[in-house]
Structure 1
Amino acid sequence: MLRILFCLLLAAPALAAPPAEGPSPLWGMLQVIFGLLLVLAAIVGIAWLFRRFSMGSMLGRFQPARVVSGVMVGPHERVVIVELAEEWLVLGVTSRNVNLLKTMPKPAGHDAGQPAANPPFAQWLAAAMDKARKRQGDGDK
């Protein structure tokens, strides 16, 4: 009896059905490519939706700060006037940092829709730079 059971166990793999062939390598490659394209399309679609809805909501928002005027004082340096809550901030802007130079109240006659004219500010800045140069020259003597 034990011999019959042993023979059946050895013969069981031979009696089993032949293994079914898996999908062809071409079919597997097509599935991988289709899946990759589906994921890339989802990424592009989500990015498009995010950009569309985030930019659309920003256009109607209230902006508390507004650049009134600016002038280049060097290759990478600017002096900018920013309006913030009825106050003007004069900022020195470089490629590495932003420094507050002066705060002043918003002029009464300034129209909110029109930027300030550059020549008076340029003249004020030139006078301030001349003063600084004169002080440096007096310190050297």
Structure 2
Amino acid sequence: MSRVCALLLPFLSAAAHAQSTTPATSELGSGFGQMLFGLAVVIAILFATLWAIKRLTAPRGGSVPLKVLGATAVGPRERIVLVELAGKVLVLGVTQSSVQTLHVLDAGELPAATPQPPTGLDFSAWLKQSVERRKHGS
């Protein structure tokens, strides 16, 4: 029994020492309060930064409704772009160094886009077709 007490004595003295040095509940509460205050400051800084980013990246100038209707490449760095602006459709030639107006027409003059039939089969149709071929081929 004395051996067990001798082995446990260092642990018991460490536990007694730890009890005498534990912070009071008021100190624990103030530490928790400081942590919450720090968290609130970090969240406030985050929201202020997000507000500033949103404010600085807002588009400048008037609110001109500009809509890109389509574009197609005609060369490695050249494109033809259709842009709708204030009831007009602009056909623009865009190169690496310049943008030129090729043609201007009213938005009503632009022919309505007709839906193009798919040139190839979609995956579900291809799978169905291959399964049917397999069934009839066996």
Q: TM-score range by the shorter chain?
A: 0.3 to 0.5
* TM-score normalized with structure 1 length: 0.38
- Give the TM-score normalised by structure 2: 0.39
